[in-house]
Amino acid sequence: SIGISMVPDDATEVQDLLRNADAAMYEAKAAGRGAYRFFTGTLNRRALDILSIENALRHAIERREFELHYQPQIDITSGALVGAEALIRWNRPDNGLVMPNVFIPVAEERGLIAAIDEWVIGNACSQLATWRDSNMPTLRIAVNLSSMAFRKKGFAERVAETIQAAGITAHQLEIELTESTMMRDIEAGIRVIKRLHDMGVRLSIDDFGT
């Protein structure tokens, strides 16, 4: 993916040229990767927006500004509540709730998503423990996982530690992987999947067929 900025139309200083080229490259990646884009004034505004979100996200990770909302999962045969899907929201102090489609792409592009994913898994496991202590039926929670977190060294081991720390059973946690995540490095992916499966963690494929 290539971003292009030109002298002197777009900028004359090196740092400005690099920033503009980076904005154009981000646009190329958003278009499906393996493409090129020239810098435009519209991209400059978008680049500033992305930079603003990135800076705010770094503070949000430090200050724990995220929260999880839970979408019920119902057994259609019995009508019983069997679990929930954890949906992340960013409770930004100056903007209120921010939906994931706004900040997740930036977090993925800027290398922040792994820290967010680990926070989600940790809090989802803690919520399961809270429900258990409230004498609710045994439930499971499904969490979406980015490819960056999945490929990070020691991921399965950290999941095991999180489950143990929360005092829940592994089969109560379900990890949703997109098809593209699994296909990026098949051999490494199989090793991680087998490790999670052997632990008892449930696995499902999201966005199947894409």
The pLDDT tens digits for 161-203 are 999 999 999 999 999 987 777 777 778 788 888 999 999 999 9
Residue range 7-30: average pLDDT? 86
Inter-helix orientation angle 41-63/113-133, to 10°? 40
| pLDDT of 45 strictly over 80 | no
CA pair distance 155, 106, nearest whole angstrom: 22
> Which are the contacts of 13, defined by CB distance < 8 A and separation ≥ 6?
none
Answer yes or no: are the C-beta atoms of 188 and 155 closer than 8 Å: no
Percent of the chain with pLDDT over 90: 46
Closest CA to 82 of 142, 132, 124, 140: 140
Top pLDDT among 67 and 24 is at 67
**How much is the pLDDT for 106?**
87
Lookup: tokens for 8: 């002197």
Lookup: tokens for 90: 């960013």
Answer yes or no: are the C-beta atoms of 30 and 85 closer than 8 Å: no
pTM score of the predicted model: 0.76
Which segments of 95-162 are extended strands (E)?
96-98, 140-145
